[in-house]
Structure 1
């Protein structure tokens, strides 16, 4: 049977992948900091899916307090997938951005405000014209503290959407899975290609939590 790109694949039907990680950049093209670490002691990370990762990464590397960002794949079944494999819908992965940040300068809650305001979390397995499971909205939490913040922010943003007569949030809040860095040409893509595609667009509804951080794409 043919699989719709908007339908999550069953684990037993996923592509096999590979044991070896993909080749990628060592340093971030904007900050010059290592994508894989080591990161300063006490720093934290957020793993977020909100559509095409090119535009999403640019949003977050501009936020004060963010140390480094990287793009990759998470939430699926195929180990070390390629971009081409993810695009088939047969890996189960979402396009994600890892945001490493200094919690003394920017909170996880403030990063989630950027998350909610810069995509449409009501669209299910797509963002605008980008259709497929890889474009789904998700917050992958590292611990129960992040889960509590994520659930509180989701409830607050849902109320804000309700007040505007908009739809139900489809964003999943799930435990952080394995994170596979994407190929080098995807890292810092819009710094390397300033006129490149960016499909990120918000609803226009302000998130009532995390006030104090404002970044627009």
Structure 2
């Protein structure tokens, strides 16, 4: 019975009354990217745009994005929930409402956001709700938190197109949450660029095998 209660808590988003209180002070974290040495929290070059992408465990997801052309820097953290400045353990409890996300700072030229969306959709299963494979809980839910209206339009268009492609392949409806700007609470130092520091570490990425064609509205 206790195991069932624990699982139920992980699969149910908390309310403001049931969420953990968190703290006012941000958690200590790395200042620079372990791979490219750039500042995680900026300043970013003029013209750079940012987006928060959640597609399961953020270790493998971050590595995916820092390798893409046009990406200036990446960092991992928690977003979309209630608890301010949560710890990893608090997020894992299911009582913060946050999902694990990757902050991607990128050059929007040459359809940079379209490349991010294609990688996002193809690298996880966006129909699984509060899980990715064996990783279960609200912290693994699929999410896109944009920073401007153009990104929002593009993200919504790509979700509709990819949902149609998934449906043709027999998959259920997409559960990805798409919303506006969210506070990002940077994760602890050891999570930043985790798979660069631990090359044999766990990577939970796994797509559906369905190709995402970036819609014309993104280009």
Q: Give the TM-score, by structure 1 length.
A: 0.94
In structure 2, which of residues 34, 38, 45 is the aligned counterpart of residue 40 of structure 1?
Answer: 45
Question: Aligned to 2:33, what secondary structure does the other structure show?
Answer: coil
| Aligned CA distance change for structure 1 residues 153 and 187 (closer, same or farther; 3 Å) | same
Name the counterpart of 2:33.
28
Contact 2:9 2:95 in 1 (8 A): no
Q: Distance in 1 between matches of 2:187 and 2:202?
A: 17
Q: Distance in 2 between matches of 1:65 and 1:20?
A: 32
Count of residues paired in the alignment: 211
Contact 1:52 1:130 in 2 (8 A): yes
Is 1:130 equivalent to 2:132 in the alignment? no
Which 5+ residue runs of structure 2 have no aligned equivalent? none
Deviation at 1:4, TM superposition (A): 2.3
Name the counterpart of 2:208.
203
Q: Distance in 1 between matches of 2:181 and 2:56?
A: 18
Q: Report the RMSD for the aligned CA atoms in angstroms.
A: 1.4
Which 5+ residue runs of structure 1 have no aligned equivalent? 212-217
Q: After the TM superposition, list the runs of 4 or more consecutive aligned residues in structure 1 that deviate by more than 3 angstroms.
A: none
**Structure with a larger share of its residues in helix:** 2
Deviation at 1:166, TM superposition (A): 1.3
Name the counterpart of 1:51.
56
Deviation at 1:144, TM superposition (A): 1.5
